Copies of this chain bind each other. A is one copy, B any other.
């Protein structure tokens, strides 16, 4: 799926950036949905449809895509149960859980400094 130009400057720049540990860490949970999904999994494991219910505005396509990436990067563990109808659930890995305190700090920083932009802030 979509692997046009392996040696475009675009690709090279992305590789360059990901060589840096910090940039790697930020970019792996960047994007619109990943942290949102991870935050929903903090309390307990959830099924696909449960996550979808928690984040109603995400499409199934995006949810599936993001979950695949999070799984590949070992932020979540996917478990398939041999049942019918099918049952799959997702849970945070230990590696992901280690990030929670760091997220809290980021959150506190944001709470403290961001300017009010006419929205109510939410803590997931």
Contacts and interface: CB of A to CB of B under 8 A. Distances in A.
Interface in A1-57: 9, 12-27, 29-33, 35-36, 39, 57
Interface residues of A, number: 50
Interface in A75-103: 95, 98-99, 101-103
26 contacts: A12-B57, A13-B57, A13-B58, A17-B33, A17-B36, A19-B119, A19-B122, A20-B36, A21-B111, A22-B103, A22-B106, A22-B123, A22-B124, A25-B106, A26-B26, A26-B106, A27-B32, A30-B31, A74-B113, A95-B113, A98-B109, A98-B113, A99-B106, A102-B102, A102-B105, A105-B105
